[in-house]
């Protein structure tokens, strides 16, 4: 009788844990849309010291160069990483406070709207439209690698048909970001940043005969996958910070207050920048 009581208690415990996880994921607090969560690199990005002058930069494309597709039973044409990395980079540039990003990905749409305005200005004899601002720096690069199963592992224990196990997997995404001098075409700086992506699975189950020809089988568990887009956004933000740090180190751009080079955030990234040759 005590054995059956232990099995029943384990079953109730597993069911309760599964219910708590479900309530946490699908509760009313998670029903509505929210702003995209940001990682610790975002705090570093917005805490960078102020520049002496903001850099006018343009990004035409920051594309997926991995050529990898997601493993899916329903479709073979879904890419592993997002195709919206250009928008992520422009957001990171603006949030850093160091760059003035110009719209270049949708340049044709912008030019079309300007043509419409010019046509209306001609009809109404209004003042002519000012010209577009040219960029000083062109930012190039993209998502250059996505590696799956760089590390896998786990542990488990089963005794008399009752057991639990845990598995984990690590992937990694790598981005390249280059700053190019528009006037000379010289590549001023090029940085590569890699970010790991973690997945974790926890399972528990019972597989046991409780009476003659009466089999009890139950399972509970959950899986946690770090969103790829959040990891990619963190890698892009880190690449922007490294680019700023490299430019400060080589005097391609300057701080508003030279003493700000001692700031904790900047020092952490300056320590990782390779010395210029």
What pLDDT sits at residue 10? 52
Q: Which residues touch 40 (CB under 8 Å, ≥6 apart)?
A: 234
Mean pLDDT (the chain, rounded): 82
129 against 202, higher pLDDT: 202
The angle formed by the CA atoms of residues 153, 155 and 158, to the nearest 5 degrees, is 150
> How many other C-beta atoms are found inside a 10 Å radius of the C-beta of residue 40?
10
125 against 91, higher pLDDT: 91
* CATH 3.40.1170.60 corresponds to the domain 39-106+134-270: no
Judged against a pLDDT cut of 90, whether residue 57 lies above it is answered with yes
What pLDDT sits at residue 24? 57
Its pTM stands at 0.81
CA distance 99 to 90: 9
13-47 pLDDT, tens digit per residue, is: 554 555 555 555 555 556 677 888 888 899 999 99
Judged against a pLDDT cut of 70, whether residue 123 lies above it is answered with no
Q: Percentage of the chain with pLDDT > 70? A: 82
pLDDT band of residue 2 (cuts 50, 70, 90) is very low
What pLDDT sits at residue 5? 45
Residue reference for tokens 């089999």:
215
Q: Report the pLDDT averaged over residues 248-270.
A: 89
């Amino acid at each position: 009788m005590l054995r059956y009581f232990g099995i029943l208690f384990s079953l109730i415990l597993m069911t309760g844990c599964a219910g708590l996880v479900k309530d946490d994921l699908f509760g009313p607090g998670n029903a509505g849309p929210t702003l995209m969560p940001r990682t610790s690199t975002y705090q570093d990005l917005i805490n960078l010291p102020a520049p002496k002058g903001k850099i006018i930069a343009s990004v035409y494309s920051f594309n997926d160069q991995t050529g990898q597709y997601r493993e899916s039973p329903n479709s073979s044409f879904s890419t592993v990483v997002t195709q919206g990395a250009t928008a992520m980079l422009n957001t990171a540039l603006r949030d850093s406070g160091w760059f003035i990003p110009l719209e270049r990905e949708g340049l044709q749409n912008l030019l079309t709207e300007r043509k419409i305005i010019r046509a209306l200005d001609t009809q109404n004899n209004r003042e002519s439209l000012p010209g577009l601002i040219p960029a000083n720096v062109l930012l190039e690069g993209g998502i250059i690698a996505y590696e799956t199963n760089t590390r896998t592992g786990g542990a488990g224990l089963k005794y008399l048909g009752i057991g639990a196990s845990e598995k984990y997997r690590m992937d990694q995404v790598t981005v390249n970001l280059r700053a190019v001098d528009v006037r000379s075409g010289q590549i001023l700086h090029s940085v590569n940043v890699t970010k790991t992506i973690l997945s974790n699975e926890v399972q528990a189950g019972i597989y046991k005969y409780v009476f003659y020809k009466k089999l009890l089988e139950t399972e509970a568990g959950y899986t946690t996958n770090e969103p790829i887009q959040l990891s990619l956004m963190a890698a892009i933000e880190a690449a922007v910070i490294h680019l700023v740090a490299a430019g400060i180190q080589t005097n391609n751009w300057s701080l508003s207050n030279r003493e700000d080079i001692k700031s904790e955030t900047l020092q952490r990234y300056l320590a990782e920048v390779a010395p210029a040759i």
